[in-house]
Structure 1
Amino acid sequence: MNGNHAEGDMRVAVLVDCDNVSPDILEHALRIAAQFGRVVMRRGYGNHTTLANRWQDALVRQAFTPCLQYQYAAGKNTSDIALALDTLEAHFDDKADAFCLVTSDSDFAYLCRKLRERGAMVFIVGEAKTPDALRNASDNFFEWVREEETSNDKSDTTPKRTEPSKPPVKLRPRFVVEAVSLMASNTSDGKVSMGALGNYLRRTDPAFSPKNYGHSGLLDMIKTYDLLVANQEPGGHWTVMLAGREEKVAAG
């Protein structure tokens, strides 16, 4: 990856495995990609059956370049090979700094590993069915959840009683404490910046998100731990340390 581009100012290539995912995922993938930088490449790969109807409409609407691949033999997925080759070519030609692969196909795990070995950032936007092999091969994994379709069954006209919504259960996984303990052991004051902690947790688990554990964000999550203490520093940024460590720091 070109070292002159920081996260948020990177050139992002979005490549979609249209044979593997639904067109409904496309807008979500573009919103994810926009967090990392400017989308400079938009391509969708599929066979003549896939790139018709709904996918055709979605690709045209979102200004994607359709990459039609014919199957030269039954059972052969030429779309996957074309996507992989175009991705590597874009990296070698320095056309992009980060690659957003929209797929749930674990066959792309090796492509992710090769890109990362060469310094590129890779993130996956996929469905819940995405295997761990692909999730863990990326820098970040973003799961797309299909919105529940409204039922068209009008035969049941019985009014349903609305149940009061329950607040989400807030979980406190142990690995967060272990991460702070590990990172704090390398600092003189025992403090770990919230940003560095978040980056570490996502590196160890690309699918990590505080929302998966019922929290609005990492700071909200840290504040629920008895074993951790969050502090706002004079500069306005937040740090976290192990409980009990702050007394030792104050005592000098």
Structure 2
Amino acid sequence: MDDRMRIALLIDADNAPAAKIDVVLAELARHGIANVRRAYGNWKSPNMQKWEQALHPNAIQPIQQFALSTGKNASDMAMVVDAMDLLHSGRFDAFAIVSSDADFTPLAMRLRAQNMRVFGFGEKKTPEPFVNACSTFLYIDEQPAGTKAAGEATDASAPLPPMPTAKLRQDTKLVNLLREAVEAEKEDDGWSSLSGVGQNINNRASFDQRNYGYVKLSALIEATELFETRRNGLHVFVRAKPKKTAKPNIEAKQG
């Protein structure tokens, strides 16, 4: 019996770059198999030419949606309706939504309420509500598109240039997330297991260390220089460095 995660891939072709489809598919291949792959848009539009070229090589089914009225996106509605049909079919363990449109925030939240894992993919311009609604979100416009020979898989884990320590520490949201997760998983000896920290972060927020240029969570944590790490075989443990306190300036009394 095939026990790989079954994933439904739904692409908002109006709001996603066709050039990064290999990044999306390679990432999903790490988790399971995308046995449904659909891309939604008005395929009569000249703006869809790049997506048209990506359909057949990647076994993606185009779903035609005409622009029925100005200012309304029929593709979004079609994606939501299909997602609900696929959800209630009971055939899937997870959904992947490729879009930079915040309108899919309620959909992601609804799917997660049904214990579905939701992989989000979009550009850096994607509004935070949609990013946070997904289980994990990968900024595909910042991921290098891999090159592949026929029959070879693309490596979606190729890192971006790592974000420097100073910039990481300026990201208050990231620093607080790491600190709170390490504190929550702390054992009696003051150390937290990295696996527990990673699980805690995933339970709190949509997070992927590759968005900061690091393939491994341990590398990101070490790069902040706010934590100590130690290794015991294959297991990694982490704890916060003690905060430095300023030494009192004691002036000698003059007699």
TM range (shorter): 0.7 to 0.9
Question: Residue 195 of structure 1: SS of its match in structure 2?
Answer: helix
Q: Distance in 2 between matches of 1:26 and 1:211?
A: 17
**TM-score normalised to the size of structure 1?**
0.75
* Counterpart for residue 240 of structure 1: 238
Please state whether the residue corresponding to 1:53 is helix, strand or coil. helix
Matched, 1:181 2:176: no
Q: Bigger shift: 29-38 or 119-128? A: 29-38
Task: Give me the whole-angstrom Cα distance separating, in 2, the residues matched to 1:215 and 1:54.
Answer: 30
Corresponding residue of 2:36: 41
Q: Output one character per residue of 1:189-232: Cα deviation in whole Å (capped at 9) or x when no partner.
A: 433221221232344342441661x6553222334566533222
Q: Which residue is 1:29 aligned to? A: 24
Query: Which of 76, 79, 94 is the matching residue for 1:80?
Result: 76
The 1:143–1:39 alpha-carbon spacing in structure 2 relative to 1, beyond 3 Å, is: same
SS of the residue 1:80 aligns to? helix
Give distance in 2, aligned partners of 1:77 and 1:225: 42
Q: Which runs of 5+ in 1 are unaligned?
A: 149-165, 245-252
Structure 1 equivalent of residue 229 of structure 2: 230
Q: Render the CA deviation track for 1:139-178: whole Å, top value 9, x for unaligned.
A: 1110012689xxxxxxxxxxxxxxxxx9862245432233
Q: Percent identity over the alignment? A: 29
Q: Which runs of 4+ in 1 moved over 6 A?
A: none
Farther-moved stretch of structure 1 (219-228 vs 34-43) = 219-228
Q: Is the 8 A contact 2:162 2:214 kept in 1?
A: no
Instruction: Give the aligned partner of residue 70 of structure 1.
Output: 66
Q: Do the aligned partners of 2:6 and 2:35 also contact (CA within 8 Å) in 1?
A: yes
Q: Do 1:43 and 1:64's aligned partners in 2 also have CA atoms closer than 8 Å?
A: yes
| Change beyond 3 A, Cα 1:72–1:226 | closer
Task: Answer yes or no: is the 8 Å Cα contact 2:10–2:97 preserved in 1.
Answer: yes
CA RMSD of aligned residues (A): 2.8
Answer 1 or 2: which has greater helix percent: 2
CA contact (8 A) 1:143 1:207 kept: no
Please tell me whether the aligned partners of residues 230 and 237 of structure 2 are also in contact (alpha carbons under 8 angstroms): yes
Q: Identify if the C-alpha distance between structure 1 residues 167 and 197 changes in structure 2 by more than 3 Å, giving closer, same or farther.
A: closer
Shift in Å at residue 42 of structure 1? 0.5
Relative to 1, partners in 2 of residues 1:145 and 1:224: Cα closer, same or farther, differing over 3 Å? closer
For the residue of structure 2 that corresponds to 1:19, the secondary structure is helix
2:112 corresponds in structure 1 to 116
Q: CA offset at residue 45 of structure 1?
A: 0.5
List per-residue Cα deviations over 1:116-161 (Å, max 9, x = no partner).
011000011000110001101111110012689xxxxxxxxxxxxx
Question: What letter is aligned with 1:178?
Answer: E
**Aligned runs of 1:1-252 on 2, under 5 Å?**
9-50=4-45, 52-145=48-141, 169-171=164-166, 173=169, 174-175=175-176, 176-184=178-186, 187-209=187-209, 212=212, 215=214, 217-224=216-223, 228-234=227-233, 236-243=234-241
1:39 counterpart SS class: strand
